[in-house]
A and B are shown apart, each in its own frame.
Chain A
Amino acid sequence: MTRAFALLLGLAAALLPLNAAQAADPRLVPDVSNRAIDIQYSFTGEELLLFGAILYPGQRLPDDRADIVVVLKGPVRPIVLREKQRVAGIWVNASSIRLRTSPGFYAIGSSRPIDKLVDERTAAIFELGLSNLSMSPTGFSEAKKLERFENGLIDLYRRLGLFYEDPSAVEIREGVLYRARIPVPARVPVGNYRAETYLISKGRVIAVASRDVEIRKAGFERFVALAAQRHGFLYGLTAVLLSLTLGYGASAIFRRR
């Protein structure tokens, strides 16, 4: 009994300062419009809505304007990035680097341009902005080359819609409700995504919250992709039978006429 009481007291003591700190800082309650995006036959991309509320202690709005940054980040994977150069007149892959943690998708939206919200160091710590993604490069010799490659990747992915940056995507209403639309293209890689929200005031990140989003193939598409990966032999056999049947069927139909 006394032991339990002591434990409780200790626990309360440990929790108290934390509670006090939490009470002083605002909190974020984020959500997404769709926690599981299914890729199916007619999938041509989707728009994901990231929204939520900012809870200020005592429900008192601060005097300074606070800003919101939302980030939707896809699974990271190792990639080889190749660069074409002109060799003997023709364009061939001449140079490459490895990036061990390259996100297959990264979208960032904010209520104001990132460089107006935080300094470079903070942006780098929280990986805010396309130029601040840490992709763990290996196999390069000079910083200049790395920069050129990273810019190349950003440019490529941006045009594919896999990297996205919009400094006016976030709309804040009455200082407490925010929302942002993030376009998700058809080429999006499948996997576990994280939708992160940052509350920023006076150049400081004062609250962070995140939600998980899953992007997956569903139904027939999932079945086909899994079969192609795991049962190559049966999959190949099916493809062969399909083409034999269609080829033979068409000629049989046309011959009868």
Chain B
Amino acid sequence: MDLYLPVANLSVNALVIILLGGGVGFLSGMFGVGGGFLTTPLLIFYGIPPTVAAASAATQVTGASVSGTLAYLERDGVDLRMGAVLVAGGLIGSLIGAGLFELLTAWGQIDTVISILYVVLLGSVGTIMGREAWGSLRAMKAGMPPPPRKRRHHPMVANLPLRWRFYRSGLYISPLAPLLLGMGVGVLTMLLGVGGGFIMVPAMVYLLGMGTQVVVGTSLFQILFVTIATTMVHSMTTGAVDIVLAGLLLLGSVTGAQVGARFAQSVRPEYLRLLLAGIVLLVALRMGVDLFIRPEEIYTVQ
């Protein structure tokens, strides 16, 4: 079933896009991630221009995170104060990202930067996640309780001026730390079309030292608002959001996510984390290899 994408200016097989969305949605429901880090590269592999892919994937992440955010809000699993600071940072970040986007496009390096960022981010996050999951699996097999983790924020965070109390997170730290974190993730959302949960969650745990009961909810809260912001910024600057493409992805991903969430309840979380780490590393590897082998197209038109 061929469908013409009015902004991407090409026709795609609608079924393939829906299935792609469904697959990513399944994984995102299973692991509780937005899945933008898979959608954007897969769309690029399929032949969608990188800008349109990143912009439309961000729109899709909004849909993927809305129900999760609401669920955590109901359960009081969101630190609203922390979330607001992160979102404020994210808004600033997405504007900075828009500037960078324009600059890199004019410079002709946007595609390379996108690829390198993906390889570095996914590669390191995948490695950390995989190692940790492997370690806790081994500990579990040996019949030992998982090693308790010290909850402390990074010394760099402690040195920042100004301090706020974040009651739900159990923190008394400078709001500049989450603001900067939100900014960094906002830039990535704009450039890569990722929600950034895969960076946000570890950063909240290891850098800020947030209480685990509000980490995922607050991250989802931030993702929801920042992807809304990036959709708006993309619409008003690059004009690269393809609403038909985003709609197709959403059709697949929102249903896939529900199925994935159910499936996840029957599998041990350690196995899930190991599997997710494997997928993340595979995407990173594929993008990394692509950087080094001679590309199919030496010439590109802009």
* A interface, CB within 8 angstroms of B: 39-44, 79-84, 86, 89-93, 96, 102, 149, 152-153, 155-156, 186-187, 189, 217, 220-222, 224-225, 228-229, 232-233, 235-240, 242-244, 246-252, 254
Contacts and interface: CB of A to CB of B under 8 A. Distances in A.
Chain A contact residues, majority secondary structure:
helix
Contact of B63 (A43, A244, A252): A244
Nearest 7 CB-CB pairings of A with B: A236-B235, A251-B67, A247-B63, A250-B254, A243-B63, A152-B299, A247-B66
Contacts of A228: 6-7, 235, 239, 241-243
A43 B231 CA distance: 27
Contacts of A81: 299-302
Interface of B is mostly: helix
Contacts of A187: 9-10
Q: Which of B4, B70, B297, B302 has the most CB of A within 10 A?
A: B4
Contacts of A244: 62-63, 66
A41 B3 contact: yes
B60 interface: yes
B162 interface: no
A225 B9 CA distance: 9
A224 B109 contact: no
A51 to B, nearest CB: 27
Interface stretch (B82-90, B163-171, B208-216, B288-296): B288-296
Nearest to B2: A44
Given A186-B4, A217-B6, A247-B62, A233 B235 contact: yes
B253 to A, nearest CB: 9
B232 A237 contact: yes
Interface of B: 2-4, 6-7, 9-11, 59-60, 62-67, 70-71, 108-109, 111-112, 228, 231-237, 239, 241-244, 246-247, 250-251, 254-255, 257-258, 291-295, 297-302
A29 B228 CA distance: 56
Given A80-B301, A247-B250, A238 B66 contact: no
B292 A83 contact: no
B302 A242 contact: no
Contact of B64 (A149, A247, A252): A247
Contacts of B4: 39-44, 186, 221
Contact of A251 (B3, B254, B300): B254
B235 A239 contact: yes
B249 to A, nearest CB: 9
Contact of A93 (B3, B108, B251, B257): B108
